[in-house]
Chain A
Amino acid sequence: MRHILSLLLENEAGALSRVAGLFSARAFNIESLTVAPTEDPTISRMTVVTSGSDAIIEQITKQLNKLVDVIKVVDLNEYRHIERELMLIKLTAQKTDRDEIKRMVDIFRGRIIDVTENTYTIEMTGTGEKLNAFIEALDDSIILEVVRSGVSGISRGDKAIQS
């Protein structure tokens, strides 16, 4: 089963490679990984999307907690949560296609953020599933570049995951 793990870790050189190294050394799956500093610049937030049986997820959580740089690990699947991913996508947009692409972007509640004579660059957020749906709705031949951020997640309600 797919799980979203939210980690707080020391914002130190090497902390990212410790996490990445752990996943490869122990043959754990990793679908996406995002990391950036939090409101406290000494702490980074990392969101890891992984998959595995309950026993494997338990082991992943424990092994992450064991890393000396890791302050906290939370499995967001255990909470009501929201997940979002950012996609930047560049499309060929010839005159005749422009209206149709614009309508599609509106339907998916994206925004066109850069325009040239031949292209549109679009920004879109949502679940991975929604972003996939947008890509599938497009004609493959007009897709020039896809840049996706990987998943970020946060719990719903008053509860906050803090160090």
Chain B
Amino acid sequence: MAKKREILRGAEIFCRALKDEGVKHLFGYPGGAVLHIYDELYKQDAVQHILVRHEQGATHAADGYARATGKPGVVLVTSGPGATNAVTGIATAYMDSIPLVVFTGQVPTHMIGNDAFQEVDAIGITRPCVKHNFLVKDVKDLAKTIKKAFYVATSGRPGPVVVDIPKDVTADSCEYDYPKEVEMRSYRPVVKGHPGQIKKAAKLILSAKKPMIYSGGGVILGEASQELIDFSRLLGYPVTNTLMGLGAFPATDKQFIGMLGMHGTYEANMGMHHCDVLIAIGARFDDRVTGDLEKFCPYAKIVHIDVDPSSIAKNVPVDIPIVGDVKHVLTDLIDLIKNDKEKPDAKALKSWWQQMHDWAAIDCLKFDRTTDVIKPQYVVEKLWELTKGDAYVTSDVGQHQMWAAQFYKFDKPRRWINSGGLGTMGFGLPAAMGVKLAFPEETVACITGEASLVMCIQELSTCLQYNTPVKIISLNNRYMGMVRQWQEFFYSSRYSHSYMEALPDFVKMAESYGHVGMRIEKTSDVEGALKEALAMTDRTVLMDFVTDQTENVYPMIAAGKGHHEMHLQPDRELA
């Protein structure tokens, strides 16, 4: 006899579905259209609701949570401005393929299209920056749609999914049945790579004289870090990571030659330029990575492994495309290579590594260690030492982000959390909060700049309310540093609106939010201050480092240049 199912209201179905989906944290902000749902949230304790102070903060916090845990981040906002405020965070997640499920309230179905109070076409507005979105018009579709949303967000190439729920749907009732699985005839992500292509790739990889392994965020999203390590060790080839891929391969490993791209290392970029076989794994040939496409990897045959066919040959034509989940494809490749009679060309590899070491000897990340004016690089380096390279580090966007990527050597995946694709200032603090909620026992630092930090500063309140003691490392140069750097290089030092007049007293600001504020002005104070802040494991600490105003990020590939045309620090031009 079929079990009689419970009749529940839409708002109850929402809460039950999240519980059945295993959601622990819901980042949100209430409003008229979602009040039925908030009333149900009040009556349950399976899902902890985190009240942010701005909807952008909700999406970034959920995003940070998702990047650190691999689980989808879940957001609930109201209609109209609630939905529009969430858009920046949704687009941020979309560009970096982060699984989010964002629920937006909507005016009642009979009022849709009437320009009702707090009405906005959330489906239309978010369409270009989501993996998919749904409007639920009938309570009978609610549970199934929620299941689909989680499935689409987390499978294949992950991404954000928006579910728009009109208020009347949350008031209507129906039988509750949360499906265990959903089948969608129009959506069936590929898992296994094509065996013929993998075989061809293995042959090419083994024939390389000057190979490069270039891996990206896809390796982290696909939980394939161990496979990447095994694959790389088996071959002994040099490995470079994209900004999004840092941590997938241990940065302190001798095979790691640093990040590549616009602010990548000299050895990584020169390696790209001169390699004869490029193995691209879960990376998408972004313009910040490739530089001028005409000059990109001129001597290389390219193997490209990606779960998303549209990433392949989008910017750069490739010789051997493999569509599939990176974990599966790498496992298959490792098997083939292990069993192949052919071995990597040891002699060629030796001279290739010699070349790598010669390039590395240039020491492209060198900075002045003699001055008492704080060098931002030094702060990041000290943080890395003191946290033994094992902290979760979020960042915002700009110079500090690049220095964090260059000087914090990530040895594990999911430790480096930044907005790589969209480049969203204001991401770092709410993201750090999301990470800390997921891992209360871990050290979570947000490396930021004073311009980025103030974009979502209101979340300091959320940090207090939910006790998420993060360490905010603000590299304060009183400029929008990266804008200033470009203005110095390309606009004859006309610093148009790039400097921050009337900054707040960050120490007092931290204190007014109930946290600890510190201001550090001398190099000799950096280490002590960091130690002190890290020791306060139960407090959020805002560290205002007064850094060198004119420091620039080097090396750098200017727009329109190739990998072999890098600029080093001004007194040591090579290229």
B317 A71 Cβ-Cβ under 8 A: no
Q: Are A14 and B123 in contact (CB under 8 A)?
A: yes
Task: Please tell me if A75 contacts chain B, counting CB pairs below 8 Å.
Answer: no
Looking at the complex, which of A56-64, A79-87, A111-119 is the stretch in contact with chain B?
A56-64
Within 8 A of B (CB), among A53-97: 55, 58-59, 62-63, 65-66, 68-71
CB distance from B313 to the nearest CB of A (A): 7
Chain B residues whose C-beta falls within 8 Å of the C-beta of A163 in the assembled complex: 185
Q: Which residue of A lies closest to B156 (CB)?
A: A66
Tell me whether B388 is interfacial, beta carbon within 8 Å.
Answer: no
Chain A residue nearest to B157 (CB atoms) is A66
Q: What residues of chain B lie closer than 8 Å to A21, measured between beta carbons?
A: 127-128
Which residues from chain B contact A69 at a C-beta distance below 8 Å? 132, 186
Contact across chains for A68 and B314 when beta carbons are under 8 A apart: no
Q: For the complex, is B187 an interface residue (Cβ under 8 Å from A)?
A: yes
A55 touches B152 (CB 8 A): no
CB distance from B102 to the nearest CB of A (A): 16
Known contacts A10-B186, A71-B186, A59 near B310 by CB under 8 Å: yes
Report whether B135 and A14 are in contact in the complex, using a CB–CB cutoff of 8 Å.
yes
Instruction: Given A9-B186, A163-B185, answer yes or no on A68-B132 (Cβ-Cβ < 8 Å).
Output: yes
Q: Which of B124, B131, B135, B313 contacts A68 (CB 8 A)?
A: B131
A107 to B313, CA, bound (A): 48
Cβ of B177 under 8 Å from chain A: no
Q: Is A147 an interface residue (CB 8 A)?
A: no
**Chain B residues in 8 Å Cβ range of A70:** 186
Which residues, 24 to 71 on A, are CB-close (under 8 Å) to B? 25, 55, 58-59, 62-63, 65-66, 68-71
Q: Are B135 and A62 in contact (CB under 8 A)?
A: no
Q: Check if B184 is an interface residue, CB within 8 A of chain A.
A: yes
Partner of A55, one of B186, B308, B317: B317
- What is the CB-to-nearest-CB distance from B206 to chain A, in angstroms, rounded to a whole number? 29
Cβ-defined contact, A17 with B127, below 8 A = yes
For the complex, is B195 an interface residue (Cβ under 8 Å from A)? Answer: no
Q: How would you classify the secondary structure of chain A's contact residues: helix, strand, loop or mixed?
A: helix
Q: Which residues of A contact B186 (CB under 8 A)?
A: 9-10, 68-71
Inside 8 A of B309's CB, which chain A residues have their CB? Answer: 62, 65-66
- Residue-wise, chain B 358-369 has the 8 Å CB interface mask toward A (1 for contact) of 000000000000
Is B127 touching A66 in the complex (CB atoms < 8 A)?
no
Chain A contacts of B131 at CB under 8 A? 68
How far is it, in angstroms, between the C-alpha of A68 and the C-alpha of B153 when the chains are bound?
11
User: Which chain B residues border A130 with CB–CB below 8 Å?
Assistant: none
B154 → chain A closest CB, angstroms: 13
Structural contact, A59 and B314, CB atoms closer than 8 A:
yes
Query: Which B residues are CB-close (under 8 A) to A58?
Result: 313
CB-based contact A68/B184 at 8 Å? yes
Residues of A within 8 A of B135 (CB): 13-14
Cα distance A58–B135 in the bound complex, in angstroms: 31
Report the minimum CB–CB distance from B183 to chain A (whole Å). Answer: 13
A59, A68, A70 interface centre (most CB from chain B within 10 Å)? A68
**Nearest chain B residue, comparing its CB with the CB of A18:** B127
Contacts of A59 in B (CB 8 A): 310, 313-314
In the complex, A66 Cα to B97 Cα: how many Å? 14
Residue picked from A55, A62, A71, A163, most chain B C-beta under 10 Å: A62
Whether A66 lies near B124 (C-beta < 8 A) is: no
CA distance A59 to B308 in the complex (A): 12
B135 to chain A, nearest CB (A): 7
Tell me, in angstroms, the Cα distance from A68 to B182 when the chains sit together. Answer: 14
> Bound state CA distance, A55 and B314, in angstroms?
8
Instruction: Give the residue name and chain of the B residue nearest to A42 (CB).
Output: B185
Min CB–CB distance B484 → chain A (angstroms): 32
Please tell me if the beta carbons of A25 and B187 are within 8 angstroms of each other in the complex: no
Given contacts A14-B123, A14-B135, A21-B127, contact A62 B310 (CB under 8 A): yes
| Chain A: CB-nearest residue to B129 | A25
A163 to B317 alpha-carbon distance, docked (Å): 30
User: Beta-carbon contacts of B207-247 to A below 8 Å, as 1s and 0s?
Assistant: 00000000000000000000000000000000000000000
Closest to B186 in A: A71
Bound together, the chains give a CA A62 to CA B323 distance in angstroms of 12
Contact A17 B124 (CB under 8 A): yes
CB neighbours of B127 from chain A (8 A): 14, 17-18, 21
**Which residue of chain B lies nearest to A65 when distances are taken between CB atoms in the complex?**
B309
Which residues of B, 310-329, contact A by the 8 Å Cβ criterion?
310, 312-314, 317
Digitize A126-156: 1 where CB-to-B-CB distance is under 8 Å, 0 elsewhere.
Answer: 0000000000000000000000000000000
Shortest beta-carbon distance, A59 to chain B, in Å? 6
Which residues of B lie under 8 Å from residue A9 when comparing CB positions? 186
Q: Give complex CA distance A63, B311 in Å.
A: 9
Give the nearest-CB partner of A68 in chain B.
Answer: B132
A68-B132, A68-B186, A71-B185 known; A55-B313 Cβ under 8 A: yes
Closest A residue, CB atoms, query B128: A25
B99 to chain A, nearest CB (A): 14
Bound together, the chains give a CA A62 to CA B185 distance in angstroms of 17
Closest residue of B by beta carbon distance from A59: B314
> How distant is B94 from chain A, measured CB to nearest CB, in Å?
12
Q: Which of B308, B310, B314 has the most CB of A within 10 A?
A: B310
> What distance in Å separates the Cβ of B480 from its nearest Cβ neighbour in chain A?
28
Chain B residues whose CB sits within 8 angstroms of the CB of A55 once the complex forms = 313, 317
- Asked if B185 and A66 make an inter-chain contact with CB atoms under 8 angstroms apart, the answer reads no
Q: Which residue of B lies closest to A70 (CB)?
A: B186
When the two chains form their complex, are residues A66 and B123 in contact, meaning their CB atoms are under 8 A apart? no
How near does chain B come to A97, taking the closest CB pair, in angstroms? 47
Instruction: List chain B residues, Cβ under 8 A from A14.
Output: 123, 127, 135
Smallest Cβ distance from A2 to chain B, in angstroms? 21
Distance A17 CA – B121 CA, assembled complex (angstroms) = 13
- Which residues of B are found within 8 Å of A68, using beta-carbon distances? 131-132, 152, 184, 186-187
Q: What separation, in Å, do the CA atoms of A18 and B127 have in the docked complex?
A: 7
The contact sample of 10 A-B pairs, CB cut-off 8 A, is A13-B135, A14-B135, A59-B310, A59-B313, A59-B314, A62-B310, A65-B309, A66-B309, A68-B131, A68-B187
List residues of chain A with CB under 8 Å of any chain B CB: 9-10, 13-14, 17-18, 21, 25, 55, 58-59, 62-63, 65-66, 68-71, 163
Give chain B's interface residues, CB within 8 Å of chain A: 123-124, 127-128, 131-132, 135, 152, 184-187, 308-310, 312-314, 317
Q: A10-B186, A58-B313, A163-B185 are in contact. List 11 more A-B contacts (CB 8 A).
A: A18-B127, A21-B127, A25-B128, A55-B313, A55-B317, A59-B313, A59-B314, A65-B309, A66-B309, A68-B152, A69-B132
Sorted nearest first, the 10 A-B pairs with minimum C-beta distance are A62-B310, A68-B132, A71-B186, A68-B187, A62-B309, A25-B128, A66-B310, A63-B310, A10-B186, A21-B127
